[in-house]
Amino acid sequence: MSGGSRSGAQHWDPQRYNRNAGFVAQLGSPLLDLLQPQAGERILDLGCGEGALTEKLAASGAEVVGVDASSEQIAAACRRGLDGRVVNGEALAFTREFDAVMSNAALHWMLNPDAVLQGVARALKPGGRFVGEMGGAGNVATIAQAVGAALEARGIDSQAANPWYFPSPQDYAARLEVAGFEVLSIELIPRPTPLPGEIAGWLETFCESFIKQVPQADQPVFLAEVTEALRPALCDGEGRWSADYVRLRFVARLKDRG
């Protein structure tokens, strides 16, 4: 689930990821329905993380390659018996090799979307499918606002630490077309998502590039402050936390350029 430029500021611990974000792969199943993988097809999973959804993809009988920028996550994917490779999603070096590319919850970590899309287009055979889901415009806006406010209150530029790209459908469709794709569908899907534990676990898993701007001794106070700012909006009366996810889901096809 990691990819490019500033994602180097984020470190991925597969055990912590499973504890706080196991739902990411579970909720990615609709992508498989859209992708309709066929036995014998060669499919690239871009930003495969520790491979939970990749494993389901491989169960279709397709020949699957999973790539991710995190060596820890790829080591976990390989332990599942998958063909996992450490690759920067902004520098894919495959040529006309795949019938389809799938990506779940990874593209928003790649801050150079045009480089990603050029690499995906190059990796696909003519007519190949690209099916993806990522954070879209407005994704985790409540959380980002609270984190940003707590950083700004300390005189820290939160925008400079922002590791995410959450595009609108119009923005991403235009980029897909420039890269040579026909966009078959693209939509924003608000999906408030129950979390398996406290919001602090989510923040520690996904907001490392923000948190590390704060001196270590102040980090517990910073996390407590953000938690209290979020409680009214994201914690219900029973103490159950959710995150204000908005997905951008699309299906595209590489035009046959001969």
Residues that bind ligand BEZ (CB under 6 A): 105, 108, 135, 139-140, 164, 206, 245
Rounded least distance, CB 139 to ligand BEZ, Å: 5
Which CB, 108 or 253, lies closer to ligand BEZ?
108
Which CB, 37 or 136, lies closer to ligand BEZ?
136
Rounded least distance, CB 186 to ligand BEZ, Å: 16
Rounded least distance, CB 137 to ligand BEZ, Å: 11
- The residues, any chain, with a CB within 8 Å of residue 170's CB and separated by 6 or more, are none
- Rg (the chain; Cα; Å): 18
Rounded least distance, CB 185 to ligand BEZ, Å: 19
Backbone angles phi, psi at 142, to 5 degrees: -65, -45
Rounded least distance, CB 205 to ligand BEZ, Å: 8
Q: How far is the C-alpha of 1 from the C-alpha of 91, rounded, in Å?
A: 15
Query: Cβ of 66: how many Cβ atoms within 10 Å?
Result: 29
Rounded least distance, CB 145 to ligand BEZ, Å: 13
Q: How far is the C-alpha of 57 from the C-alpha of 43, rounded, in Å?
A: 9
Instruction: Order the strands of the 98-104 sheet from edge to edge.
Output: 83-86, 63-68, 42-46, 98-104, 124-135, 242-254, 181-194
Are 152 and 244 contacting, i.e. CB atoms less than 8 angstroms apart? no
Strands 242-254 and 181-194: antiparallel
Instruction: Report the residue number whose CB is nearest to ligand BEZ.
Output: 135
Which CB, 140 or 146, lies closer to ligand BEZ?
140
Q: How far is the C-alpha of 168 from the C-alpha of 183, rounded, in Å?
A: 14
DSSP 84-115: EEE--GGG----S-EEEEEEES-GGG-S-HHH
Which CB, 27 or 156, lies closer to ligand BEZ?
27
Which CB, 12 or 164, lies closer to ligand BEZ?
164
Rounded least distance, CB 107 to ligand BEZ, Å: 10
Q: How far is the C-alpha of 173 from the C-alpha of 60, rounded, in Å?
A: 28
Residue linked to tokens 């590489």: 254
